[in-house]
């Protein structure tokens, strides 16, 4: 079976690209299960009911997020109402939502998605390594296909989690930095890995935001409101082929395509 993961959707340009390109991608790669990271989907920060509704008629099985999932207060209720919308599992108890979702393909194959956030250069959260151990121990042994979205800053931490989970999950895909890396590979025990999938959004920018706004903050060291850029919009993702009987990955392919309509 094939898992399709789409990297951080940034603002309206990213949403438009997903709507335009995703259906054809699903057909082209014969994707059986689709996961999309939506933490930047609403103006670059968080998600709202209106934004999430734009994905409802698309072939999306689960949505992951990261540290910006908390940025829109109107989106927080979605974490309780929609089990397919995940937040990182290693935030403290008492926060809304969950970091694990088990869905099914059209053929009835169970697929688990786990969302975790890094600690290095991020918030002092519970160890993603230990939380991953706990969630995997709680999973039904019949669930063989497991995908982990690791939303983290440091490449070393992302690679460390990939090695730590090698052979226990089907894939570990990095998100958060918005810069696609060219290190997609199969780890020795059968886990597909990439340090960062990259963003689905405007690449004529600084990680999706208008360059002049970001430069002003760096130059003046003052608070400047960021705005989502508009040009050179691309969709970033990976396709992971998995042996559904064992959960071992057979291949991983990186995707970066232009949305020619923008």
Hey, which residues are catalytic here?
A: 68
Q: Which residues contact 161 (CB under 8 A, 6 or more apart)?
A: 116, 128, 129, 132, 148, 150, 152, 172
Total residues belonging to the chain:
262
For 69, phi then psi, to 5°, come to -60, -20
Which is nearest to 107 in space by CA: 25, 23, 30?
30
d(CA 141, CA 136): 9
The CA-CA-CA angle for residues 65, 91, 200, to 5°, reads 15
d(CA 204, CA 183): 23
**CB-CB contact of 223 with 229 (8 Å):** no
């Amino acid at each position: 079976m094939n898992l399709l993961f789409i990297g951080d959707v940034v603002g309206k340009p990213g949403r438009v690209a997903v709507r335009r390109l995703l259906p054809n991608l699903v057909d082209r790669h014969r994707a059986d299960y689709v996961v999309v990271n939506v933490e930047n989907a609403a103006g670059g920060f968080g998600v709202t009911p209106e934004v999430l509704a734009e994905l409802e008629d698309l072939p999306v099985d689960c949505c992951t997020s990261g540290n910006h999932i908390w940025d829109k207060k109107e989106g927080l209720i979605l974490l309780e109402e929609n089990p397919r919308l995940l937040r990182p599992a290693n935030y403290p108890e008492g926060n809304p939502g969950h970091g694990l979702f088990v869905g099914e393909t059209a053929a009835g194959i169970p697929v688990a998605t786990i969302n975790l956030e890094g600690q290095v250069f991020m918030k002092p959260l519970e160890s993603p390594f230990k939380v991953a151990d706990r969630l995997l121990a709680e999973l039904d042994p019949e669930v063989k296909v497991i995908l982990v979205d690791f939303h983290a800053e440091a490449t070393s931490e992302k690679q460390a989690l990939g090695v730590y989970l090698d052979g226990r999950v089907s894939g570990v895909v990095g998100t958060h930095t918005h810069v696609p890396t060219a290190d997609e590979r199969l780890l020795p025990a059968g886990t597909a890995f990439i340090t960062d999938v990259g963003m689905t959004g405007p690449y004529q920018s600084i990680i999706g935001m208008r360059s002049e706004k970001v430069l002003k903050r760096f130059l003046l060291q003052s608070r400047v409101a960021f705005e989502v850029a508009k040009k050179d919009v691309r969709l970033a993702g990976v396709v992971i082929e998995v042996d559904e009987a064992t959960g071992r990955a057979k291949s991983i392919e990186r995707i970066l395509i232009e949305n020619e309509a923008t």
